[in-house]
Amino acid sequence: MADSNTKSTVELVVSLVQVLSVVVGVYLSVQSFNHTRDKETEARHAEAEARRLEAERPFRELRRTVYLEAVKTAAVIATPEGRTAEELGKARRRFRELYIAELSMVEGRDVEARMVALASAVDADLGNLNQSQAAALQLARALGQGYRGEIPSDGAGTSSR
């Protein structure tokens, strides 16, 4: 009888070890699957972010180029000492072009507000746009939205200019 109790205990332990092995194996398989899935998701997100940044690069380069030209033009206008009337006239004309068109296409709201402030300080009439200038401004904004892939909503394009 002791032999049969020992045999039953051994069989019970062996059965328990087998069940635990299966449970641990299933648990580890699920954990491995989840870990792999999470890593794949992270990789997809990283790849999507890299694609997004690459797609935005031309816009950022255009913005940088236009911002640099705006800064140079503003510097000429803001420091008229030692400059010829022709230089100042060209700078004012270029500033107006940037103000109405190119810069409006790429600028953020903060830059727009600063541009309006500088325009008011430099040339009070600069804010008074004629019909064709206002149309060019609206076109530049719409092109900028399209370039960035934005969908304009009703009332889009209204701003301080």
Give the CA distances from residue 7 to residues 1, 14, 16, 20, in Å, rounded to whole numbers and listed in that order: 10, 10, 14, 20
pTM, rounded to two decimals: 0.62
Instruction: Give which of 67, 77, 80, 75 is closest to 122, Cα–Cα.
Output: 77
User: In the prediction, which pLDDT does 42 show?
Assistant: 96
Task: Choose among 138, 139, 120, 136: nearest CA to 128.
Answer: 120
Domain limits of the chain?
Answer: 2-148
What does the alpha-carbon distance between residue 6 and residue 93 come to, in Å, rounded to a whole number?
102
Which residues of the chain have a pLDDT value below 50?
A: 152-158
User: Given this model, what pLDDT does residue 146 score?
Assistant: 80
Which single residue is written with the structure tokens 């699957």?
Answer: 33
pLDDT at 153: 47
For residue 10, the model assigns a pLDDT of 87
